[in-house]
Structure 1
Amino acid sequence: MAVDGAAARGAAVALLGAVLDEGQQFSQVIDAADGPLAGLPPSEKARAQRLALTTLRHIEQADRVLKPYLRKAPPDLVMNALRLGVVELAVEGGAAHGVVNAVVDLVSRGNRTGHMKGLANAVMRKVADTPEPFAKLPPQRMPQWLRQPLVHRWGRDVVTAIEAVQGQTPPLDLTAKGQMPAIDGATALPIGSTRLAQATQVSNLPGFATGDWWVQDAAASLAARLLEAKAGETVLDLCAAPGGKTLQLAAAGATVTALDISSPRLNRLRENLARTGLTAEIIATDALHWQPPALFDAVLLDAPCSATGTLRRHPDLPFIKDDSDIPALVALQAQLIDKALTFLKHGGRLVFCTCSLLPQEGEDQLAATLARHPTLKVEAPALQGIAPEWITAEGGLRLRPDYWAESGGMDGFFMARLRLPA
C-alpha cells in the first residue's frame, strides 16, 4: 500500500543525506538535474525542501529525543528517516500513525536497511507517545567555532535568542520597485520592506508578473538604503549577484553598473531586470583586475563572506562549513574595499557590507579599513526604522537575527558607509 507523501519524504531524506553525510550544499543539490527532486511535481518538491530544511534546523533536538532508544547509531538513511519523523511529530504536528508508517516505509525501501523496519517502528512509536518531544529542549546550537566568538561579543542570552530565531522557518520579505500592491497577509516593516509570515508560491503573488517587487531579506535591503543613491548618480554594485541591491539602486533612478565574478549567478539578475523593467549595465569579471572607464559617485560592496548571518535561511551551512576559510575571506574583503575606493570620485561614498555575524568580517574589518585609510569618514546611518542600538560606536550598522524576533527576525549583517574627502 502506498504511503501518502512517500515521494516527498523520500526526497527529503535524500536531501538530508546529501548535506549531512556527503557535505553538499543544499541549494546545489535541489538544483541538480539528477538530484533527489528530479521528476517530482512542484508541490512535492516544495514539500520535500520544507521537510528537509525544517529537519536541518532541529537535528540536535531530534538526536537528543532519539538517543535513549538507540543502542548504537543506525545507518545514515535510517537515522535521517528517524530524524525526519521526529521533526514531523514535534514541529509540524504530523499525525502519529501516518508519520510512524511513513518512516517505516522509508526504511523498508532502502536496499540495505529493509531489515531495520522493526527498529524504526519501535523507535517511532515511543517518540509518538511522548507529548511535545522538544518542549524542554533548548534551540539548536550553532557550531562552536561560530558560537564561541559570538558569546564573547554579546553574551549567552543574546546568542541563545539568535539560535531560537534560526530554529524557525523564516518569513518572506519583499522590496517594492515603487508602490507595493495589496497582498493578503502582508505586513509593512519599519524600514519599508514588506513581510509575509507564511511560505507561498512567489510567482502567484500580486505584482510578481508585473515586476512590482522582488524577494529580498529586509536586512539585506538596508545596504542599498544606506547608500542613498539618487537619480542621475553613477553607482557601481560590486559582487552584485543575484541582484536585489542592483534593483534597488536602479529603482532609485541611478545609472547602475552591476559587476560580479560569476556569469551564471548574474543570470538571475538579468531575469529580474527584465521582469521589473529596470536597467543596469552588467559586467562579469573579477573586480580586483578591472578598471572602469570613469569614476563613480557611489559604490556598494557586498563582499564575499562566511554567510554566517544567513543560517536562518540556510540551515545546511553549519553542517558543511567550518572557519578554515575565514582568514582568506577577511583578506579578500580588505582587498575589495581598497579596490572599491579607487573607483570613487572625490567626495564619493562606499557602503561595505557582509552577511556575517563574525566581528572579523564586520566591526574589525571597518577598524582595519580606517587604519589603512585615515582620511575616510564613517557616516552613521540615519534611516527609517533603524533602532539606535543597531548602530555601533564607530558608526557601523550591526544587524542580528534576534532583532524583530517576534515577527521572524532578520538576517545578520554588518554594514558601514564611508566617504572620501572632497
Structure 2
Amino acid sequence: MSDSLIPRRAALNLLNAVTVDHRLLSECTAIFDPLSPPDRARAQRLATSVLRAASRADRWLKPHLKKRPPVQVQNALRLGVVEIAEGAAPHGVVNDIVTLLADGKRTANFAALANAVLRKGADLPQQWGKLALPQLPDWLREPLREAWGNSAINAIERAHFRGAPLDLTIPRDTADWAARLGGLVLPTGSVRLDGHGMVSTLPGFAEGAWWVQDAAAALPVRLLGDLRGQRALDICAAPGGKTMQLASAGAEVTALDLSANRLQRVAENLARTNLNATIVQGDALEFTTTGWDVIVLDAPCSATGTIRRHPDLPFARDGAEIGSLIALQAQMIDHALRLLNPGGRLLFCTCSLLPDEGEVQVEEALARHPGLRVIPPELPEIEADWISPEGGVRLRPDYWPSLGGMDGFYMAVLCAP
C-alpha cells in the first residue's frame, strides 16, 4: 500500500459522508480515529479542498463522461482531479484512485473508467484556473444575492474558494508572538498565519500564549471595551474563544453550554491558557441566574459565514433548519435580556451571512423591548461600511481581500433599559 493511499481513502470516506449522508466533517470523527496525526491532517486537507472545488472538478469531468456515475464514484474522480490540478504527481494519484474504486463492491466496475478519465488530466494544472468559479447552492445564494447584490456574492464566492488562513488571538505580547510565529498582525489585533503546520506544534501553543479564533469571531468581545471586574455570562460558550477573551480582559466569567462534551473542550482550553471561568452545563433558556453586567450570546445559527473554512456546510445542509434557528435566536435574546442588570449589555452575534440571523434580529428585538438600544461601535479598527443601519457590525468573507478575507459575522451590543 502506498503511503498516500491511507489519507486518500479517508478523504474519500469523508467526501461520501458529507455528500451522501449529509454529515458535517466535524461529525465524522470516527473516520479520523485510526489515522496518525499527519494522515489525519492530510485527509482533512484533501476533503476540504475537494468540497471547495467540487463544481469546478465536475465541470472538467463532464465532457469525459457519457453520464454522471454514482456519487461515490464521482467523489473519487473529484479527488483525483483536484489533486492533479493542485500539482500532485498524476501517476500516483491515478493509481490510488483506481485502487480505491477497485476495492469497493459497488465501485469496482468503475475503476477502468477512472483510469481512462484521469489519465486525460495531464494539463489540469494549466486549465484549472480557467474553469468557472464554484457557486453557492441556490438555497443560500439567492437570499445572499438579494441582501448584498451580484457583485458582493461573486466576491464572497471568490473568498470561499480561496479558503482561510489561520487566525490567532494573542492577549499579551502580540507583536512579539507574531514575529516569532512569522504572522501578520491584522488591523483588529488578531495574528494571521499562512502555511502553518499542525497547530499543536506551533510555538506558544503548549504554554497557552494564544488560541485559534478567526479574526471576525474575535471582534465581538472587543466591542465591549473595559471588562475588568464585571460579571459576564457567555451563553453557548463552546469551544471557548469568547470565554477566554472575557477572562483575559478581567471579567468574572461563567461559561454556559448545553453540551457536556463541548464544555470539556472549554475546560481544556482554559487550563491550557491559564485562564479561569465557572463552567455550567445546561439549556440557556432554562438558566435563571440574574445579575449579569454583560451577557455574550453567540447564538446557534446557520454558520453560513464560516464556509471558507467549512466547505462541507453547503453539501451537508439545505437551509431547512434556518427558520427554526431564527425563532430560537429571538427566544434567546429575550431570555438573555431578562437576566441582565438594568443598564447591562447584551452582545448578540452570529456567524451567519443572512440578515435574518443578524440585522433583522436586532431590529425586531428593538421593536419588542421599549427602551432597548444599540450601543454604537467605537473601535477605530471598524471600517465605516461595516456598520449596518440599525447600529450593528456586519462582516463578510469578501472584506479584507488583500489580507486573506474573514469569516462572515454579525454583532451588536444592546443596552438593557
Q: Equivalent residue of 1:347, what SS?
A: strand
In the alignment, is the contact (CA less than 8 A) between 1:25 and 1:316 conserved in 2?
yes
1:324-370 C-alpha deviation (Å, 9 max, x unpaired): 21111111111111111111111111110011101110111111011
Question: Match for residue 340 of structure 1?
Answer: 336
Question: Match for residue 374 of structure 1?
Answer: 370
Question: Match for residue 24 of structure 1?
Answer: 23
Comparing 198-207 with 268-277, which one deviates more in the overlay? 198-207
1:171 pairs with 2:165: yes
Question: Match for residue 145 of structure 1?
Answer: 139
1:279 pairs with 2:276: yes
Deviation of 1:23 (Å): 1.2
Deviation of 1:130 (Å): 4.4
Q: Distance in 2 between matches of 1:389 and 1:308?
A: 21
Match of 1:120 among 114, 118, 124: 114
Question: Match for residue 418 of structure 1?
Answer: 414
Q: Equivalent residue of 2:333, what SS?
A: helix
Question: Match for residue 394 of structure 1?
Answer: 390
Q: Which letter does structure 1 place at the counterpart of 2:168? A: L
Question: Match for residue 291 of structure 1?
Answer: 288
Change (3 A) 1:100 1:277: same
- After TM superposition, the structure 1 = structure 2 runs for residues 16-415 of structure 1, keeping only pairs within 5 Å, are 16-29=15-28, 31-32=29-30, 35=31, 37-90=32-85, 92-130=86-124, 132-180=126-174, 181=177, 182-292=179-289, 294-415=290-411
When normalised by structure 1's length, the TM-score is: 0.95
Comparing 270-279 with 97-106, which one deviates more in the overlay? 97-106
Question: Match for residue 5 of structure 1?
Answer: 4
Q: Distance in 2 between matches of 1:76 and 1:345?
A: 54
Q: Distance in 2 between matches of 1:359 and 1:313?
A: 20
1:177-235 C-alpha deviation (Å, 9 max, x unpaired): 32232433211010000000124211111111111110011100111111224211111
Q: Equivalent residue of 2:385, what SS?
A: helix
Q: Distance in 2 between matches of 1:373 and 1:112?
A: 58
In the alignment, is the contact (CA less than 8 A) between 1:185 and 1:196 conserved in 2?
yes
Deviation of 1:11 (Å): 0.9
Q: Which letter does structure 2 place at the counterpart of 1:14? A: N
Q: Distance in 2 between matches of 1:170 and 1:397?
A: 21
Q: Which letter does structure 2 place at the counterpart of 1:363? A: E
Q: Which letter does structure 1 place at the counterpart of 2:157? A: E
In the alignment, is the contact (CA less than 8 A) between 2:336 and 2:346 conserved in 1?
yes
Identity %: 55
Q: Distance in 1 between matches of 2:125 and 2:313?
A: 30
Q: Distance in 1 between matches of 2:107 and 2:262?
A: 39
Q: Which letter does structure 1 place at the counterpart of 2:64? A: Y
Deviation of 1:304 (Å): 0.6
Q: Distance in 2 between matches of 1:305 and 1:113?
A: 37
Deviation of 1:131 (Å): 5.2
When normalised by structure 2's length, the TM-score is: 0.96
Change (3 A) 1:145 1:116: closer
Moved over 6 A (4+): none
Change (3 A) 1:87 1:329: same
In the alignment, is the contact (CA less than 8 A) between 2:87 and 2:125 conserved in 1?
no
Q: Equivalent residue of 1:127, what SS?
A: coil
1:232-265 C-alpha deviation (Å, 9 max, x unpaired): 1111111111110000000001101111111111
Q: Which letter does structure 2 place at the counterpart of 1:339? A: H
Q: Distance in 1 between matches of 2:409 and 2:261?
A: 25
Q: Distance in 2 between matches of 1:114 and 1:143?
A: 31
RMSD: 1.4
In the alignment, is the contact (CA less than 8 A) between 1:229 and 1:298 conserved in 2?
no
In the alignment, is the contact (CA less than 8 A) between 2:181 and 2:203 conserved in 1?
no
User: Where do 5+ consecutive residues of structure 1 fail to align?
Assistant: none
Q: Distance in 2 between matches of 1:124 and 1:295?
A: 64
In the alignment, is the contact (CA less than 8 A) between 1:229 and 1:249 conserved in 2?
no
Aligned residues: 414
